[in-house]
Amino acid sequence: MTAPPVGQPAPSMGAEHAKLRRERWAIGIVAVLVAALTFFEAHLAAVGGAVTFSSNIVIFALINLNVVFVVLLIFLVTRNVFKILLDRRRNLLGAKLRSRLVLIFICFSLIPTMLLFIAATNITTTSIKSWIGGRVGQALTGAIDIARERLEEEARALSPAAESAAAGLLGTVDPASFPRVLESSRSLAPAGTALLFFEKDAEVARDGEVPPAVRAEVLTRIKAVNGDGDAKGTLIGDEFAAAWRRTPGGVIVVAVRSLPPAEAARIREITKAYDEYHQVRLLDDPIRASYVGILILITLLIVFSASWMGIYLARQITVPVQLLAEGTEEVARGNLDVSLDYRSRDEFGTLVASFNRMTADLKAMKGNLEETNASLTRTYDELRRRTQFIETILDSISTGVIVIDRHGRIAMINKVAERLLRIHTDGAVGRMYREVLREEHYEAIRSLYREAGEAAGGQVERQVELVVGETRIAFRVSLTALRDDAGEYMGLVAAFDDLSQTMRLQRVLAWREVARRIAHDIRNPLTPIQLSTERMQRKYAAVHAEDPVFAECTEAILSEVNTLKHLVDEFTRFARMPVPRVEEGDLPVEIRTVVETYRTSHPGIRWEFRQEGPPRLWFDPVQIRRAVTNLLDNAAAALGERGSVTVTCTHDESAGRARIDVADDGPGIPLGDRGRLFEPYFSRREGGTGLGLAIVSAIANDHGGTVRMRDNTPRGTVFEIEFPAHPPAMEKTGSMAPVIDDGGREI
């Protein structure tokens, strides 16, 4: 399974990244536009001068655009801030770090900006107040008063010339006389003075040069002079000073002098400053409000720009961190196909590139490991298969094998060894063999190991007798020290062969030979003895009729001869066990017949017969009846006149096995006798031949089966004969069946 690489994986995540990128661009462009428009609008007034209506529309459009952009900037930044807060509440990865960084940026920008804003506002307000409320006003008023006085004085200085000209025109309005009058008045006028004659708001004569603007202003002023008849006055302007006199004839004589350009400029400056001062004083509050508004705008711009910068920088930090965290999580989940899509020239870019290289290396290493693991698995499977093969072989042989490594731990032990040595410990493999084996067995192996160390080839084979359970059993122990090619000790292999069966068979064969010879040697003289004794009774009974000794002795001889014959018959039967004639029959019927016989002969005992499974199977009815008879005979002898015997006939068709259980509740068999129980001529019963159980064992063996003895619950003994229910592959006649005790061990 290949997970999508982190960074460019899921479409939703990619769309989110694109959206964030677009927002970033939008915020940047809006911020630049706001700054540019603000700058342009602030300088438009100075550039534009007189503004037309269309320009006003443009300006208002720009203002509105600026406001829209500011609102958009606020919206975008606010949206991002809310998004960060929402992410933090959702405990998204990196949200806390991002919100902390943004908060720090906002604080670091907001605090100095607000301080700057407050300081600038105070400075502006204080400056305006000090400017309009202090001595500036008085100074400007004084300056304009001085300028006015200066011009008035200048105008008064022109009055003589105007008076003289008016006097010259006294009583006449003849234009022909105007040049003469002007000529005569020139001497009274200061240098640079022009004389003008106006009649009915029109210039009728002039002496001297006057700038057109000054002449037009003078004419406007003259028009404002109301009244008729004799009148005079002065006129002042920022470029001139004049004195006028109206003659009775209606002619207005004006003596005007233009100020030098520098002086006129100074007066204009004073007038302008005076006007500005009063305007500022009048518009004090709106000016302050305007400045505050501009400062607020700048403050907002700084704050939101800083906030956005904080968001941007926080994202620059948290995005790669988040990507790395997600990538690490994916790697932890086992996905090594993770590839982070983040490119940057900073340290985060290097880190992400290193992460990608690391995952690629891990993936390659994982591939190698998997290949190695597969190879190891194959090797392990092969080894396990071989080990199982060896274990199967070891389990199928009758030799107990224990493999011990160089550290003394059991590396392998087959079931035969466990059974022979009665090792019931689970998990013996891997444990120290000293802990697993009994002390005597351990010491035996240690002793043999020492011998093996001294023996050539590191191998030794001995026959030892070990106590297993309550029985001393003869084993042939073969111990081999394992060494590698370099001769280093690797461990040892101990093989145990149970010799008791072999020895028992040897004993049985010996006993059979003894029995055959005894039967042969004893049977021959018995008949002459019997015949002779009977002849003596017939011939000398009458002679010794009064002497009972004769009769008693001959009867005793005959009785003992009969006993010896019976014994010889038993020996003969044991020595010559016939080959079983297996045929299909009804096993329960045969056994029930035997049981019924004993029920009749031993009424004090409760005889019970049970049957399980199909009745028909293959067996030799004569020998099976004899084996059951022997077992029931032993049971009746053990019980005396009271007790119960239960005979169970079981046929497990699926397993193809038949079993006959004979259970009594008698006193049981002592542990010490159990090892020799099935040996011939071993009997604890008075008058017993010791051949009953030996014959049972021989019959079971001839049927390819086994006979076992175990304790009955709560008391007594159970003998089990188990044999195949189908025609068995017969072993050679005379062999003994494996006899298994209650621990499952052959005895």
Partner 1 sequence: MRVLIAFFTLTLLGLPPGSSLAGPPVPGISEISGTIRGGEARVRFTLRNAFTPEMVEALKSGIEISFKITVEVERVYRRWFNRPMGQVRYTRSVRYDALSRVYRLHRDDGDELLADVLAALDRMTRFEVVVPVTGGVEKGKPYRARVRARLDKVGLSEPLRSIFFFSSLWDVETDWARGNLQAP
> Tokens in use for 218?
């003078």
Is the CB of 287 or the CB of 390 nearer to partner 1? 287
Residues 384, 364: contact at Cβ < 8 Å?
no
Is the CB of 95 or the CB of 128 nearer to partner 1? 128
Is the CB of 238 or the CB of 497 nearer to partner 1? 238
Residue 41 CB, shortest distance to partner 1, in Å, is 7
Residues 172, 250: contact at Cβ < 8 Å?
no
Is the CB of 146 or the CB of 503 nearer to partner 1? 146
Residue 323 CB, shortest distance to partner 1, in Å, is 28
Beta-carbon neighbour count of residue 535 at 10 Å?
11
Residue 58 CB, shortest distance to partner 1, in Å, is 11
The number of C-alpha atoms within 13 Å of 546 and in the hemisphere containing its C-beta is 0
Is the CB of 53 or the CB of 424 nearer to partner 1? 53
Residues 605, 636: contact at Cβ < 8 Å?
yes
Is the CB of 97 or the CB of 280 nearer to partner 1? 280
What are residue 252's DSSP bridge partners? Answer: 198, 246
- Name residues whose C-beta falls within 8 Å of residue 484's C-beta, 6 or more positions apart in sequence: 490
Residue 171 CB, shortest distance to partner 1, in Å, is 30
Residue 60 CB, shortest distance to partner 1, in Å, is 7
Rounded Cα distance between 111 and 588, Å, is: 110
Residue 290 CB, shortest distance to partner 1, in Å, is 5
Is the CB of 286 or the CB of 528 nearer to partner 1? 286
3-class DSSP state for residue 436? helix
Establish whether the linkage from the previous residue to 728 is cis, with ω within 30° of 0. Answer: no
Phi/psi region, residue 404 (left: phi>0; alpha: psi -120 to 50; beta: rest), is: beta
Residue 357 CB, shortest distance to partner 1, in Å, is 43
Is the CB of 308 or the CB of 342 nearer to partner 1? 308
Residue 51 CB, shortest distance to partner 1, in Å, is 8
Residues 482, 508: contact at Cβ < 8 Å?
no
Query: If you search the block for the tokens 């350009």, which residue do you land on?
Result: 261
- Name residues whose C-beta falls within 8 Å of residue 635's C-beta, 6 or more positions apart in sequence: 645, 662, 664, 666, 717
For Cα atoms 74, 343, 83, give the angle at the middle one, nearest 5 degrees. 25
Is the CB of 198 or the CB of 274 nearer to partner 1? 274
Residue 311 CB, shortest distance to partner 1, in Å, is 17
Is the CB of 43 or the CB of 610 nearer to partner 1? 43
The DSSP bridge pattern shows strands 251-258 and 240-246 to be: antiparallel
Residue 137 CB, shortest distance to partner 1, in Å, is 12
Binding site for partner 1 (CB under 8 A): 41-42, 44-46, 51, 59-60, 63, 75, 78-79, 82, 144, 147-148, 151, 220-221, 223-224, 235-238, 267, 271-272, 274-276, 278-283, 286-287, 290-291
Is the CB of 298 or the CB of 558 nearer to partner 1? 298
Rounded Cα distance between 512 and 118, Å, is: 131
Is the CB of 226 or the CB of 654 nearer to partner 1? 226
Task: Annotate 133-202 with three-state secondary structure.
Answer: HCHHHHHHHHHHHHHHHHHHHHHHHHHHHHHHHHHHCCCCCCHHHHHHHHHHHHHHCCCCEEEEEEECCC
Query: If you search the block for the tokens 């076992």, which residue do you land on?
Result: 708
Residue 243 CB, shortest distance to partner 1, in Å, is 14
What stretch of H or E contains 93? none
Rounded Cα distance between 72 and 67, Å, is: 8
Rounded Cα distance between 584 and 327, Å, is: 78
Rounded Cα distance between 216 and 491, Å, is: 137
Residue 316 CB, shortest distance to partner 1, in Å, is 26
What distances in angstroms separate CA 708 from CA 396, 423, 741, 747, one per listed residue? 21, 20, 5, 9
